[in-house]
Amino acid sequence: MGRIGKYLPGLAIPCLLIVWWFAVTGGGRDTLLPSPEEVISVLFHPFQDLISTGSLAWSTLVSLVRVAMGFSLAALIGIPVGLLMGASRSARRFLSLMVEMARPLSAIALLPLSIIIFKAKTFSQLFGLQYLRYQKNLLNEMQLGMIFILFWGGVFPIILGTIQGVRSVRKMHLEAAGILGANRLFTFRHVIIPSALPDIFHGLKLGIGRCWMVIIAAEMLPGTNSGIGYLIRYSYQLSRYDIMLASIVIIAFIGALFSKGLESLGEKSLVLRSKER
């Protein structure tokens, strides 16, 4: 089996579902649920303007860029904090209660608060680019409050994964590094970080999955008028279920792509650790 071949078994059940879907809605019948052809037709015209909210591609891009920003921020802060908490007992004492209390607070629950704090500011306002205001520009869609809750959603799995990675470094390897003359900094850089990598990647994978769920939910809330989550809500209100289903397909597809992508990035480090004997 080739590279594609290994995904074939996993497609069996989705294919059955599509066949069933076709059987109950296809053949030009007038059903509440749109037929697969209608949904596919939406998917095949990604640049067409839909229900005057912009195209499917535009909505996807807005959501993607929001996630990219929030997730990058989460990784940029989560990994160093996790490394610090994993390596230093006093940092752990200082921060772990805070992390444990903050972690269960759903990011969505924080959206209103976050919008109050950041006063619905967007990137174009932040950078003083007021003239962009009436143009169609990505920077207009980057609300700081939204980026903040994405950061919130993504950062905890990343912190916890990184701590786990640092804490599970094998004692034998630390001792070997010490015997070979390495000081704490050298050991951290060349022993602790590389052996923590598989867990860091695992945390990143969970983190981006969370971000993707948070953004869709956040965009469905009132007060938002862009992104793929908004497209779902709006098309539902206008009873355009074909657009709604097409959006759902895109969300599922991108979610899988994210986690597969990070998985393959982390694979090399994982392979080395799992094959150790």
Q: Which residues bind other proteins (CB under 8 A)?
A: 172-173, 175-183, 186, 190-191, 194-195, 197, 269, 272-273, 275-277
3-state helix, strand, coil in the chain (%, to 5): 75, 0, 20
> How far apart are CB 178 and other proteins at their closest, in Å?
8
> How far apart are CB 118 and other proteins at their closest, in Å?
41
> How far apart are CB 266 and other proteins at their closest, in Å?
12
> How far apart are CB 174 and other proteins at their closest, in Å?
10
User: What single DSSP character describes residue 55?
Assistant: B
Whole-number Cα distances in Å, 133 to 57, 58, 214: 21, 17, 26
> How far apart are CB 202 and other proteins at their closest, in Å?
16
Radius of gyration in angstroms for the set of CA atoms belonging to the chain, rounded to a whole number: 23
Per the listing, tokens 């805070």 go with 98
> How far apart are CB 191 and other proteins at their closest, in Å?
7
Considering the complex, state which of residue 90 and residue 183 has its C-beta at the smaller distance from other proteins.
183
**DSSP line for 207-252:** HHHHHHHHHHHHHHSTT---SHHHHHHHHHHTT-HHHHHHHHHHHH
Considering the complex, state which of residue 184 and residue 260 has its C-beta at the smaller distance from other proteins.
184
Per the listing, tokens 């060349």 go with 190
Within 8 A by CB and 6+ apart from 32, the residues are 241
Considering the complex, state which of residue 84 and residue 177 has its C-beta at the smaller distance from other proteins.
177
Considering the complex, state which of residue 169 and residue 218 has its C-beta at the smaller distance from other proteins.
169
Whole-number Cα distances in Å, 177 to 186, 191, 263, 267: 9, 8, 29, 25
> How far apart are CB 179 and other proteins at their closest, in Å?
5
Cα 266 to the center of its chain, rounded Å: 16
Considering the complex, state which of residue 3 and residue 171 has its C-beta at the smaller distance from other proteins.
171
Considering the complex, state which of residue 34 and residue 266 has its C-beta at the smaller distance from other proteins.
266
Considering the complex, state which of residue 9 and residue 181 has its C-beta at the smaller distance from other proteins.
181
Whole-number Cα distances in Å, 179 to 84, 173, 197, 220: 24, 10, 23, 57
**Is the distance from CB of 158 to CB of 203 less than 8 angstroms?**
yes
